[in-house]
Structure 1
Amino acid sequence: MGRRRRGVMSESFKEELAKDLGFYDTVQREGWGGIRSRDAGNMTKRAVEIAQQQLTGQNQNRH
């Protein structure tokens, strides 16, 4: 059966990023398609920063 592939970021994580970056109201009004490409880029950039911080923290715990 074809289970839909989930995106890399969970919906709740994307919502948190949108709140942090100040365009969550747009998401609520218009959905994800309503955000500007610049906002989407900033969201991706922030997600990468968070992931790198988590990886760095995990690596430090191993040493």
Structure 2
Amino acid sequence: MGRRRSVMSDQLKEEIAKELGIYDTVQQEGWGGIKSRDAGNMVKQAIQMAERQLEQNQHGRS
């Protein structure tokens, strides 16, 4: 089975990892070194960011 293409850019993942305080782990161990909970929190943060962006875009069009 091949690798799946990443949905989030590396820049976005790094930004979120820094916000969550897990970027040091990523630098030392790679993305495989983070805990499942941290990965879930990264996804949650990305969804919240996307929702805020959609909300801003919708208000800008009204």
The TM-score, its normalising length taken from structure 2, stands at 0.91
1:39 maps to what in 2?
Answer: 38
* Partner residue in 2 for 1:53: 52
Question: What is the total number of aligned residue pairs between the two structures?
Answer: 60
CA distance in 2, matches of 1:42, 1:5: 20
Structure 1 unaligned runs (5+)? Answer: none
Please list every run of 5 or more consecutive structure 2 residues that lacks an aligned counterpart in the other structure: none
Aligned position for 1:23: 22
List, as ranges, runs of 4+ consecutive aligned residues in structure 1 with deviation greater than 6 Å: none
Taking the aligned partners of 1:48 and 1:30, their CA distance within structure 2 comes to 25
Report the residue type matching 1:18 in the other structure: A
Q: Equivalent residue of 1:38, what SS?
A: helix
Question: Equivalents in 1 of 2:47, 2:34: separation in Å?
Answer: 19
Tell me by how many angstroms 1:5 deviates. Answer: 6.5
Quote the RMSD (CA, aligned, Å).
Answer: 1.3
TM-score by length of 1: 0.90
What letter is aligned with 1:8?
V
In structure 2, relative to structure 1, the CA distance for the partners of 1:35 and 1:5 (3 Å cut) is closer
